Amino acid sequence: MKTAMDRILKLLRQRPVITTFITYSLLIIFADLFGYFSYENQSKLYKLAGNNSVVSIEGKVLSSFQISRNRKKFLLETYNVSGNSIYEKIIVNSPKGYSISYGDIINIEGKLKRPKASLDFDYQKYLARDNIYVLCDLYSFEYIASKPNLLKKFAIKTSQDISNKFDAYFKKPYADILKSLIIGDKSSLTQGVKNDFINSGVMHILVVSGLHVGFISIIVLFILKLTGLPLKKASILSIPIIFFYVIIVGSNPPALRAAIMLSCIFISLALNREPLIYNSLALSALIIVIFEPQQLFTASFQMSYGATIGIACFYKSIYRIFKNIKNIILRFFCGVLSVTVAVQLILIPVVIYYFGKVSLISFLANIIIVPLAGIILYLGASFYIFTFICKYASVLISVILSLILNFILSVTNILGNFKYATVNLEKPTISELLLYFLFLFFLTKLKGRKWPIISGIILVINAGYLLVRNL
């Protein structure tokens, strides 16, 4: 026992970034347990929202608007609320008639209200993890000035231009899927398309995340390398371009996490240091939780890092099973299968914990659709560039993209409507999750005769725990 403890302490000393992240995360968890992140402690507006009174708010619009049913929705940072200096983010529900743009300084009157939680989804907690505690129904509006961040304004205009070009060249629902997959705009997706992607286990490709940022970084590196730049310089120059793409897609947390993670790896390459994946993961996660500590508790944060850890831990071992396969095409699909299995080993219990169900056909759907998602991103980027250079080329690319999207829609419709596509399961406890991940840890880290003994003990403990729990 002493030897094992010495090894753990030695490992923690050798990896100070990992140690710091673990320590800081434990402090955040304890702070949450003792109520530090309660709504009342974190938000002054949360208390005002319980008064059911109309307030006057001055603030800055932080986002372009989203249309939901007959109303607009946008994010506002408050400066002054009924004469009090209060700096908080709120979501404003506005009638369609008002013209509001990112960067506008406005004065509004409206009624504050607390987000409602349903039996299926705790919307209040979901927003609170992003430091949003209050909604506002807008009654009146007064424009004061416009003070946008020029880079963000340019990124938003670029996003809107991409959206307009998709609408001009593609039929529905192809344009809607492209907007969701490439720039993160899901507002025009029909519920039927969403359900097919959800039930087939590939909804993640319609949410701009680490997968998309990874594909974009490969495109950027490839283009920079074509100019003759060495890998080190290309890696450094790609960082601002990747972050610009993140701004275009709305700076959503999964994309931002991936950009920070890739930046850590690229900086390591530029400094002639081997990019240690676990150090890079810990450093990017630490940066995020320092500025946004509640991100640690979100399913998105946990699943993003869980997927990356799964690939780092299990991909090589799984892919080794197919080492005798010589066919290039088969090896490619075996690689995709290996990545999918590696990711699912970590994510399946997390998905069951948060959503209470698991997709039985997600393996098959991901093997087919994830590679196509990469092709769509590459072709989509090429399409947009050619709209400025050669319209005939952009039309040709749009035809190819439409054929691929039609195939994807057919696959998700067939798999998503399969009778046993998803299975509802009982939500596991935190203890069961810990035992599962402890089992995976010993399964991969122990060698010789130790791993079956210790892993077997953990399995017996888990089985006994489940038996006692269900008595």
The per-residue pLDDT for range 15-66, each reduced to its tens digit, is 778 888 888 999 999 999 888 888 888 888 888 887 777 889 999 998 877 7
Helices and strands (H, E) in the chain, number of each type: 18, 9
Contact 174, 391 (CB under 8 A): no
> Cα separations (Å) of 202 from 24, 178, 190, 373, 413?
33, 15, 16, 10, 12
- Does residue 300 lie in a domain region? yes
Residue-range definition of the domain harbouring residue 139? 43-148
Per the domain annotation, does 272 fall within a domain? yes
Percent pLDDT > 70 in the chain is 88
Cβ-based burial of 164 (10 A; exposed 0-12, middle 13-18, buried ≥19)? exposed
Q: Each residue of 104-134: pLDDT tens digit?
A: 999 999 899 988 876 667 888 888 888 899 9
In a domain, 98, yes or no: yes
Q: Determine the Cα–Cα distance for residues 200 and 12; give it in Å rounded to an integer.
A: 40
66-68 and 84-85 beta bridge pairing: unpaired
Residue 451 confidence (pLDDT): 47
Asked whether the whole model's pTM tops 0.85, one would answer no
Q: Count CA atoms closer than 13 A to 451's CA, side-chain side.
A: 10
**pLDDT tens-digit readout, 360-401:** 788 788 888 888 888 898 899 889 999 998 888 999 999 999
Contact indicator for 59, 106 with CB cutoff of 8 Å: yes
- Statement to judge: residues 269 and 371 lie in one domain: yes
pLDDT tens, residue by residue, 243-278 = 998 888 887 778 888 888 888 778 877 776 655 677
- Please tell me whether residues 349 and 436 are part of one structural domain: no
Q: Quick check: 134 and 46 in contact, CB under 8 A?
A: yes
* Pair (23, 111) in one structural domain: no
Task: Mark whether 59 and 103 lie in a shared domain.
Answer: yes
Inter-CA distances, 68 with 147, 188, 248, 278, Å: 26, 9, 20, 40
84-85 and 71-81 strand pairing: antiparallel
Residues 283-327 pLDDT 10s: 888 888 898 899 888 888 888 888 888 888 888 888 888 878 888
| Together in a domain, 381 and 463 | no
Q: Count how many domains the chain has.
A: 4
How far apart CA 296 and CA 33 sit, in angstroms, is: 13
Same domain, 463 and 383: no
Q: Select from 148, 175, 193 the last residue of a domain.
A: 148
Contact predicate 64/251, CB 8 Å: no
Residues 95, 81, single domain; the answer is yes
Residue 126 CA to residue 401 CA, distance in Å, equals: 35
Token output for 434:
């810990």
One-letter amino acid of 218 = I
Q: Is 4 a residue whose pLDDT tops 70? A: no
Q: Long-range pairs for 68-74 at CB < 8 Å and ≥24 separation?
A: 68/187, 70/95, 70/96, 71/95, 71/96, 72/96, 72/98, 72/100, 74/100
Kindly state the tokens that stand for 163: 């959206």
What proportion of the chain, given as a percentage, has pLDDT over 90?
15
139 and 191 together in one domain: no
Question: In this structure, is residue 26 part of a structural domain?
Answer: yes
Do 219 and 362 sit in the same domain of this protein?
yes
Flag whether 174 is in a domain: yes
Whether a cis peptide bond, with omega within 30° of 0, leads into 428 is no
pLDDT tens-digit map of 52-74:
778 899 999 988 777 766 677 88
pLDDT above 50: residue 467: no
Residue 30 lies in a domain: yes
Token pair for 400: 């190819």
Task: Report the mean per-residue pLDDT for the chain.
Answer: 81
Sign of CA dihedral 253, 370, 405, 198: negative
Strand 132-146, strand 89-95: pairing: parallel
Q: How far is CA 418 from CA 93, 141, 177, 421, 469, in A?
A: 38, 49, 22, 5, 33
- Would you state the pLDDT for residue 424? 79
Q: Are residues 311 and 228 part of one domain?
A: yes
Residue indicated by tokens 């840890």: 441
Residues 29 and 47 in one domain: no
Express each pLDDT in 159-185 by its tens digit: 889 999 999 999 888 999 999 888 888
CA gap 124, 135 in Å, rounded? 10
Counting Cβ atoms within 10 Å, is residue 271 exposed (0-12), middle (13-18) or buried (19+)?
exposed
Strand extents, DSSP E, 341-446:
357-359, 422-424
Instruction: Answer yes or no: is 464 within a domain.
Output: yes
287 and 178, same structural domain? Answer: yes
| Residue at 153 is within a domain | no
Residue 470 has pLDDT above 50, yes or no: no
